[in-house]
Amino acid sequence: MAQAQTPEVVVITGASAGIGRAVVQAFAKRGAHIGLIARGEAGLEGARREVEALGGKAIAIPTDVSDAAAVDRAASQVEETFGPIDIWVNDAFTSVFSEFKDISPDDYKRVTEVAYLGFVYGTMAALKRMLPRDRGRIVQVGSALGYRSIPLQSAYCGAKHAINGFTDSIRTELIHNKSNVRISIAQMPAVNTPQFTWVKNKLPRKAQPVPPIFQPEVAGEAVYWLAHHYKREMFVGGSTAIVITGNKIFPWLGDLYLGKTGYKSQQYDGSKDPNAPDNLYQPVDAHRDYGAHGNFDSRAKSTSYEIWVSEHIPSPQAAAMALVAAAAVAASSLGVFGILSTKRRSLSERFR
């Protein structure tokens, strides 16, 4: 008789909603035992019920990831309940939609503490337990905005850039010490999550993700795959591959394009609700379970062919370069680069 496989023990931060919730679903339907970390108790309880309905087991641990000691205690609670942690996924974040000049120092600090230091503290808690056992996987939920910053999200973009640098440093230390622990980043596109419902928004209109938009399940399945097939980095969605690789080749083009379109593309559908709550300091899902999806189901893609490419081509840059080359040929045939060259010279003279 074949021996029953031991369920994986997984910790997921930001587990109550959005991408984190979709990652929870991906692991739950494979029977994992999951430590759910987030602030919103209603969201966490909804996630716990969902895990058990899908065939896994879960423990909900209300935790603010900006508190390093609380994150470490949560990790201990997971191991006391389910045993050694096999996989740790860092996803929890918060943000502010605003021009930089209008953000208070306290709000900027808060975003950094959650969206960057929360990843640091989660990684610390994971490595504290994985390194002595010489096994384990850590997956950071990154973003294309960790390479190509956009206007109105300077705090979030700064945090995502920091995660890339931090993770690369940790990876080199693991290599130096010949550790079997692995750390990876899944770089995400725009995703249809409740974030845009509860983000602190100082813009005149409602916030939205920059199209193209993907459903959270696309992100969840990508994280699950990356946790079981080591790659240092995975680009989720063709838009992510093109943005990241294109920014390496001609970042000035991104500056021009986003300076012109980045404000409009992050807003939609009339004035925002001035009384809408935000989750910067307190969870919005403390009394209501928002689930994984946001308000953009009608515009979101449920599949990504580029994930298949990422799963089958060793270098994400190789696949992305092909996409960028195709885009460049199309742009050239339309005479786009002649126009942009003129704009670049104008911009260079302006900031000389």
Burial class (CB in 10 A: 0-12, 13-18, 19+), 337: middle
Q: Distance of alpha carbon 145 from its chain centroid, rounded?
A: 9
DSSP 17: B
Task: Choose among 287, 141, 266: nearest CA to 201.
Answer: 266
Cβ-proximal residues to 55 (8 Å cutoff; 6+ apart), any chain: 28, 29, 31
d(CA 240, CA 233): 12
Pairing type for strands 205-207 and 300-301 reads: unpaired
The residues facing 57 across adjacent strands are 33
Task: Find out whether 37 and 12 touch, Cβ atoms under 8 Å.
Answer: yes
d(CA 237, CA 145): 13
3-class SS shares of the chain: helix, strand, coil, % to 5: 55, 15, 30
CA atoms within 13 A on the CB side of 165: 9
AA letter at 255: D
Pairing type for strands 57-62 and 87-90 reads: unpaired
Cβ-proximal residues to 72 (8 Å cutoff; 6+ apart), any chain: 121, 124, 125, 128
Give yes or no: 281 in active site. no
Residue showing tokens 């120092």: 105
Cβ-proximal residues to 85 (8 Å cutoff; 6+ apart), any chain: 9, 10, 11, 35, 75, 78, 79, 126, 129, 130, 136
Catalytic residue among 116, 147, 156, 290: 156
Task: Show which residues are catalytic.
Answer: 156
